[in-house]
Amino acid sequence: MKKIILITVFLTFTRFFGCAQSADEVTKLLNTEEVTYGQACYFLATLHGLVDEDASYGQALDSIKEQGLLNFDVPKFDPIPLNQISHICVKLWRIKGSFFYLICPTPRYAFRLLKAHSVLSRTADPLKKVSGHEFLNILTDCIAKYPTENSEN
């Protein structure tokens, strides 16, 4: 009986600290003025199950590159522009609806596709560096509009 109680307590604390790490990452993101490639890739990769929550930004960035979602090398601490966020989101969620994106799948047309689907505002600038709050708004809009196989919808 003691073993079962000790195992239960151990698993509870392990789960608690795992959630605390995720909450710390969200808090850190919310306080960020410019989201970096590493942060964006971390949240997108963990959301889609490409990496674990305890992965580093570098591992998440490498995972996104391995999936073919980024085809160039970039430091993980460089700010990510809105058109690149759009491009990764469109590819990860496999969003359809744009003839031009089908012909030429570039960040420009991914950005325009998300504007057309009202994920981004009509006045959004494709080269704008987004804050953590704006990035989380984009993620929540994508989660709400484009359910994935991992979601419970």
Give how far Cα 142 sits from Cα of 64, 93, 145, Å: 17, 8, 5
The partner residues of 79 in beta bridges, in order of sequence, read 36
pLDDT value of residue 2? 56
pTM recorded for the entire structure: 0.80
| Confidence at residue 97, expressed as pLDDT on a 0 to 100 scale | 80
Taken as a whole, the chain contains a residue count of 153
Residue ranges in the chain whose pLDDT is less than 50: 6-20, 151-153
The confidence score (pLDDT) of residue 1 equals 61
